[in-house]
């Protein structure tokens, strides 16, 4: 924690923000050649320890290995959060209200402060607990100092000289109030600007020694968190420079200690590979002279399909291990995709039923979108009744449409048309609703285009027909997801490639791939460059 004349004006400087932006741009601007991870890499049999997953045989894990893997995972999650979340900060831990943890903590603290108060009220006073508190305060203040703050360090050691204070306590001559005042003044010199008011209250609010000690420790705890968050902000640019290598190495360590660490990731990629192979046109007959074996799918097509499948159907499949650090962000994206997909379906039905009389009215479109979004908020909750929500949407939408039509001298909607529109909107709740399926297909098409294009954030693909009303929200959602996905590919690409190669060239081929040796498949498919 820097001194007052050295301390930062905020925990996130413009330089740090610039570094964050550059890092995000770097992750997003993965070119198609980089994103392909190169077909040479795809066919390579060997790579460095941190570039490909381990092939350790199954074994029984010891408790030490489990604990080591948990520690690696904790470090990986923390580093990833610091790197990708520029607003990440640590807050003072606080147990949930009415929890056993909080109750026990309150009882233990009250017992300690009651004991301190009892000792100080004795005749003569007993200072043993107070001296221990001062010693802890001294160590905390010293931990805030920069390495070069020798003058301040010497002063703190002289004033809070524990041997001298104990001698004074033995002779009932210790000035606890004076020492507390010195501690508060020193805290004012060392704290971040945001804590100035807290320190000012300590100075201006006189009270008994026990209450003052309690407040001193409360503010010191806040200062500790400020120091941690300042350190995070300072280290973030350096972490971002080495983020890919660091996260890959940490995950490699987990894989080496946990043989099953890639099971769900393998199933996820296998499902995507089967989907891609089924959609590919039949290849030439390898039994005919001159015909080559079937061309293998592009690795990036397989991976992009896997990520899009996760965004749209991720609630129905186990989460891949390589995405555990982004699980919260991905689940939030899944909820946004589902909400936006339903809003787009409602609006598409409205515009298809009403026709030209409401086209080209951006204000009306925004009103309809807002009504739908508000009434569908929380649709990801397990107890949300989608059918009931869609019924509630129909009435205000018809009311808003009638209002707009009347203002522009158009006849209001007929009762039959309103009834038809309400019925179609309510039918969206059906899983196989054709309009809902069309909208989902166009969403997937848009996300696949976004993932396939280099620098798609700067030059996004055109919005599919019928999704113009949600284009701004769709573009932002796609850009955020692509940024996260491209970074994930950079970190875990070698693991994905190894899994895909094993699936394609194993003794039990995936559907649609002719059973043959790996070398023959490579030559016939043209995978190598």
With a CB cutoff of 8 Å and minimum separation 6, the contacts of 301 are 276
Which of the 8 DSSP states describes residue 145? S
What's residue 64's pLDDT? 58
Q: Each residue of 448-471: pLDDT tens digit? A: 998 888 776 677 888 888 888 898
What's residue 500's pLDDT? 92
Count CB atoms within 10 A of the CB of residue 480.
16
Which helix (DSSP H) or strand (DSSP E) does residue 399 occupy? helix 386-407
Alpha-carbon span 408 to 343, nearest angstrom: 25
* Number of residues in the chain: 529
The average pLDDT across 67-71 equals 62
| Residue found by looking up tokens 């107890």 in the block | 383
Measured in degrees and rounded to the nearest 5, phi and psi for residue 323 equal: -115, 15
What's residue 522's pLDDT? 29
Structure token digits, residue 495: 């693991």
Alpha-carbon span 408 to 231, nearest angstrom: 60
Structure token digits, residue 229: 């968050």
Alpha-carbon span 475 to 469, nearest angstrom: 11
User: Quick one: how far is CA 96 from the chain centroid?
Assistant: 23
> Where residue 69 falls among pLDDT bands split at 50, 70, 90?
low
What's residue 62's pLDDT? 60
What's residue 68's pLDDT? 63
Which of the 8 DSSP states describes residue 295? P
Structure token digits, residue 311: 């965004």
Q: Counting beta carbons within 10 angstroms of the beta carbon of residue 519, is it exposed (0 to 12), middle (13 to 18) or buried (19 or more)?
A: exposed
Which helix (DSSP H) or strand (DSSP E) does residue 415 occupy? helix 415-426
Nearest alpha-carbon partner for 250 in 498, 50, 23, 488 = 50
Alpha-carbon span 317 to 401, nearest angstrom: 40
Q: Each residue of 73-96: pLDDT tens digit? A: 676 777 677 777 777 777 777 777
What's residue 345's pLDDT? 93
With a CB cutoff of 8 Å and minimum separation 6, the contacts of 459 are 453
Nearest alpha-carbon partner for 429 in 395, 379, 468 = 379
With a CB cutoff of 8 Å and minimum separation 6, the contacts of 399 are none
Alpha-carbon span 429 to 350, nearest angstrom: 16
**168 contacts 174 by C-beta, under 8 angstroms:** yes
With a CB cutoff of 8 Å and minimum separation 6, the contacts of 382 are none
Q: Each residue of 310-324: pLDDT tens digit? A: 998 866 778 898 988
Alpha-carbon span 219 to 137, nearest angstrom: 11
Question: What is the three-class DSSP state of 58?
Answer: coil
What's residue 226's pLDDT? 87
With a CB cutoff of 8 Å and minimum separation 6, the contacts of 416 are none
Alpha-carbon span 41 to 261, nearest angstrom: 22
Nearest alpha-carbon partner for 314 in 125, 106, 481 = 481
Note if the bond before 112 is cis, omega within 30 degrees.
no
Question: What is the three-class DSSP state of 484?
Answer: helix
> Where residue 31 falls among pLDDT bands split at 50, 70, 90?
very low
User: Quick one: how far is CA 53 from the chain centroid?
Assistant: 24
Q: Each residue of 467-506: pLDDT tens digit? A: 888 989 999 999 988 888 988 998 999 999 999 999 888 7
Nearest alpha-carbon partner for 130 in 93, 178, 92 = 178
**What angle separates helix 128-143 from helix 150-159, to the nearest 10 degrees?**
180
**240 contacts 20 by C-beta, under 8 angstroms:** yes
What's residue 518's pLDDT? 35
Q: For 199-226, give the secondary structure using H, E and C.
A: HHHHHHCCCCHHHHHHHHHHHHHHHHHH
| Residue found by looking up tokens 């709740």 in the block | 429
**pTM for this model (two decimals):** 0.65
What is the residue-averaged pLDDT of the chain? 78
Alpha-carbon span 119 to 129, nearest angstrom: 8
Which helix (DSSP H) or strand (DSSP E) does residue 496 occupy? helix 471-505
Alpha-carbon span 315 to 311, nearest angstrom: 9
Count CB atoms within 10 A of the CB of residue 290.
5
Nearest alpha-carbon partner for 186 in 210, 148, 219 = 219
Of these ranges, 9-13, 23-27, 29-33, 104-108, the one predicted with the greatest mean pLDDT is 104-108
With a CB cutoff of 8 Å and minimum separation 6, the contacts of 40 are 528, 529
The average pLDDT across 267-272 equals 91
Nearest alpha-carbon partner for 367 in 357, 378, 375 = 375
> Where residue 8 falls among pLDDT bands split at 50, 70, 90?
very low
What's residue 326's pLDDT? 86
Report percent pLDDT > 90 for the chain: 20
């Amino acid at each position: 924690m820097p001194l007052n004349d050295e301390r930062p004006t905020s925990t996130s400087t413009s330089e740090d923000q610039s570094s964050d932006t550059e890092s995000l741009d770097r992750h997003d601007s993965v070119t198609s050649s980089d994103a392909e991870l190169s077909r040479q890499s795809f066919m390579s049999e060997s790579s460095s320890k941190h570039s490909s997953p381990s092939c350790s045989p199954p074994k029984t894990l010891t408790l030490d290995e489990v604990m080591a893997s948990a520690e690696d995972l904790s470090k990986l999650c923390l580093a990833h959060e610091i790197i990708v979340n520029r607003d990440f900060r640590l807050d003072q831990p606080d147990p949930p209200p009415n929890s056993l943890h909080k109750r026990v903590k309150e009882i233990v603290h009250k017992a300690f402060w009651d004991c301190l108060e009892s000792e100080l009220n004795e005749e003569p006073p007993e200072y043993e607990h107070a001296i221990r508190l001062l010693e802890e305060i001294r160590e905390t203040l010293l931990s805030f100092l920069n390495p070069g703050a020798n003058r301040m360090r010497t002063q703190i050691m002289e004033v809070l000289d524990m041997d001298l204070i104990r001698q004074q306590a033995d002779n009932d001559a210790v000035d606890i109030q004076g020492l507390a005042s010195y501690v508060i003044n020193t805290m004012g010199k060392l704290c971040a600007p945001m804590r100035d008011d807290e320190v000012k209250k300590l100075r201006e609010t006189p009270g008994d020694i026990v209450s003052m000690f309690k407040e001193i420790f409360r503010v010191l705890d806040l200062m500790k968190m400020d120091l941690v968050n300042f350190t995070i902000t300072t280290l973030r640019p350096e972490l971002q420079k080495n983020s890919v290598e660091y996260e890959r190495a940490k995950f490699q360590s987990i894989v080496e200690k946990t043989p099953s660490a890639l099971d769900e990731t393998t199933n996820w990629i296998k499902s995507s590979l089967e989907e891609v192979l089924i959609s590919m046109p039949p290849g030439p007959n390898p039994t005919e002279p001159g015909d080559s074996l079937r061309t293998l799918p592009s690795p990036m097509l397989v991976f992009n399909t896997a990520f899009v499948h996760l965004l749209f159907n991720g609630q129905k499949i186990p989460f891949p291990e390589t995405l555990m650090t982004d699980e919260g962000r991905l689940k939030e994206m899944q909820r946004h995709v589902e909400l936006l997909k339903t809003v787009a379906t409602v609006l598409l039905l409205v515009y298809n039923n009403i026709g030209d009389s409401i086209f080209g009215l951006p204000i009306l479109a925004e009103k309809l979108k807002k009504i739908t979004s508000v009434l569908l908020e929380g649709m990801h909750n397990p107890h949300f009744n989608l059918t009931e929500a869609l019924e509630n949407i129909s009435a205000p939408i018809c009311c808003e449409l009638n209002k707009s039509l009347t203002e522009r001298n158009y006849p209001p909607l007929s009762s039959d048309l309103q009834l038809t529109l309400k019925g179609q909107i309510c039918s969206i709740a059906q899983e196989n609703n054709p309009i809902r399926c069309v909208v989902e297909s166009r969403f997937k098409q848009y996300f696949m285009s976004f993932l396939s294009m280099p620098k798609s954030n700067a030059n996004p693909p055109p919005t599919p027909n019928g999704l113009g009303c949600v284009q701004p929200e769709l573009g932002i959602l796609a850009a955020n997801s692509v940024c996260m996905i491209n970074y994930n590919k950079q970190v875990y690409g070698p693991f994905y490639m190894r899994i895909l190669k094993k699936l394609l060239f194993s003794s039990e081929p995936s559907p649609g791939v002719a059973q043959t040796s790996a070398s023959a498949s490579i030559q016939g498919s043209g995978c190598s460059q």
